[in-house]
Amino acid sequence: MPTIIPFKATLPSKDKVALVTSRAYEDYSVAELASQLDYNPYSFLHVVNPFYLNQQKVDTEKRLRQVNSKYKEFKAEKILLKETSDSFFLHKIITKTNTFIGIVGGLSIEEYKQNKIKKHEDTFGYRVDLFRDYMKYAGFYTEPVLITYPDSDILNTWIKKQQHKRAHFEFATHKKEIHYLWKISKEKDIQLIQDTFSKMDCLYIADGHHRTESATKLYEETGKNPFFMSYLIAETNLKINEYNRVIKDLNGHSKTEFLHLLKQHFSIENKGQTLYTPQEKFTFGMYLDGNFYKLQLKENKIDTSDVLQSLDTQILYDFVLNPILGIGDLRTDQRIEYLSGKQSVTELKNKVDNEEFEVAFLMYKTDISEIKKIADLGLIMPPKSTYIEPKFRVGLTTFEVEV
């Protein structure tokens, strides 16, 4: 059922690809960003931050039009090259701990609107408008929406075969990642990909809900750009990490009162200095006042047939964060922050020990089956329920937008 199309991407020149591509702008520390922009004239960061050497304040439209101007400058200097024919791309990412491989192509906005491409997260209107404006004035975007599909023997065999061929790009990064990109332009390969996806019932957004909504809004306003760039990956190849929570205070409760309130819904086991992390659903780690605790949800506290009520992130909100700690909006409350499961437990512990926060909760990771059930039912998961990989480098495959 889903329609996937090849497209004319803009790619870095082969001799500069390792210099051009970068992590997302916000992933860099101030020092790292300065180093990249000072010493690497080919970095795509110059495109997304054209005012680096002249830090003047300008309105959004002027800034984004300058992004477009810098992008065109990179093309004029042959740092970036627009493809002349439509292609899919097979992109393999090897990190220190995982290997990911997926197909980069365009997906239909109309099919997204028809719920053939399903979502599980809510979006903020201002963020949707912000990225819509980015596409409108900058004229491109370079980070694909992460889409997952049920494993396919046909695609698995085809992907394995493609990897025996010489890649269009092969490069390493400062983070010791290795990237391979194969350009897929033969008609028989394009047809195989399209035929295989057309037989699937639906696809699921893993990450990139705001980008999808922004592309939809621009399409509805202009009638142009009916497809959005996506990275499609088999669901068994997706890496789903948890988001842990740190809270600034106990909402006026003493430690004793807080533990007493928790005992209404959880069995509590003091783990002392052991760096405890939960190993199964309905269990939570907690770090409070120098000790780790295991919290086990008591039986019959929830309806386990209710997929939303059964999410660990929802349970923590329903029984702890909201009623005991007074956390209302998980997106906007200033008393709560989130650390991805990729960050060490020691880092979380230090935030409490340094008195930045009063208590920390460690979550068990959400399963892909839970995400799909939520999406199938048209429900929305609590914010920061998942930290999903792979993450992408900007400037590798760029999707140009008509306005």
What gap in Å lies between CA 83 and CA 186, rounded to an integer?
A: 14
- Please indicate, yes or no, whether residues 281 and 135 belong to a single structural domain of this protein: no
Task: Give the DSSP H or E segment for 64.
Answer: helix 60-76
Q: State the average pLDDT over residues 287-295.
A: 97
- Please indicate, yes or no, whether residues 156 and 299 belong to a single structural domain of this protein: no
Q: What are the tokens at 266?
A: 């959880």
- Please indicate, yes or no, whether residues 59 and 137 belong to a single structural domain of this protein: yes
- Please indicate, yes or no, whether residues 207 and 342 belong to a single structural domain of this protein: no
What gap in Å lies between CA 185 and CA 165, rounded to an integer?
A: 13
Q: What are the tokens at 165?
A: 């061929």
Question: What was the pLDDT predicted at 43?
Answer: 95
Q: State the average pLDDT over residues 70-97.
A: 97
Residue 249 lies in a domain: yes
What gap in Å lies between CA 395 and CA 75, rounded to an integer?
A: 12
- Please indicate, yes or no, whether residues 211 and 249 belong to a single structural domain of this protein: no
Comparing CA positions, the residue from 402, 375, 67 lying closest to residue 206 is 375
Residue 381 lies in a domain: no
What gap in Å lies between CA 131 and CA 127, rounded to an integer?
A: 6
Q: What is the domain range of residue 81?
A: 4-239+389-400
Inform me whether the pLDDT recorded for 104 exceeds 70: yes
Q: State the average pLDDT over residues 20-42.
A: 89
Q: What single letter denotes the amino acid at residue 295?
A: L
325: domain CATH number is 3.30.1760
pTM of the model: 0.94
What gap in Å lies between CA 6 and CA 356, rounded to an integer?
A: 49
Q: State the average pLDDT over residues 196-219.
A: 97
- Please indicate, yes or no, whether residues 78 and 106 belong to a single structural domain of this protein: yes
Question: What was the pLDDT predicted at 50?
Answer: 81
- Please indicate, yes or no, whether residues 192 and 276 belong to a single structural domain of this protein: no
Q: What single letter denotes the amino acid at residue 229?
A: M
Question: What was the pLDDT predicted at 52?
Answer: 59
* Number of Cβ atoms within 10 Å of the Cβ of 324: 17
Question: What was the pLDDT predicted at 64?
Answer: 92
Comparing CA positions, the residue from 188, 182, 33, 209 lying closest to residue 119 is 209
- Please indicate, yes or no, whether residues 274 and 190 belong to a single structural domain of this protein: no
88-94 and 239-241 strand pairing: unpaired
- CA 207, 210, 215, 216 torsion: positive or negative? positive
What gap in Å lies between CA 68 and CA 50, rounded to an integer?
A: 9
* Number of Cβ atoms within 10 Å of the Cβ of 234: 18
pLDDT category of residue 54 using cuts at 50, 70 and 90:
low
C-beta separation of 79 from 13 below 8 A: yes
Q: What does the pLDDT look like over 352-380, one tens digit per residue? A: 999 999 999 999 999 999 999 999 999 99
Inform me whether the pLDDT recorded for 154 exceeds 60: yes
- Please indicate, yes or no, whether residues 36 and 130 belong to a single structural domain of this protein: yes
- Please indicate, yes or no, whether residues 71 and 191 belong to a single structural domain of this protein: yes
163-to-25, 89, 111, 238, 279 alpha-carbon distances in Å? 30, 12, 30, 19, 35
Above pLDDT 70, what percent of the chain?
98
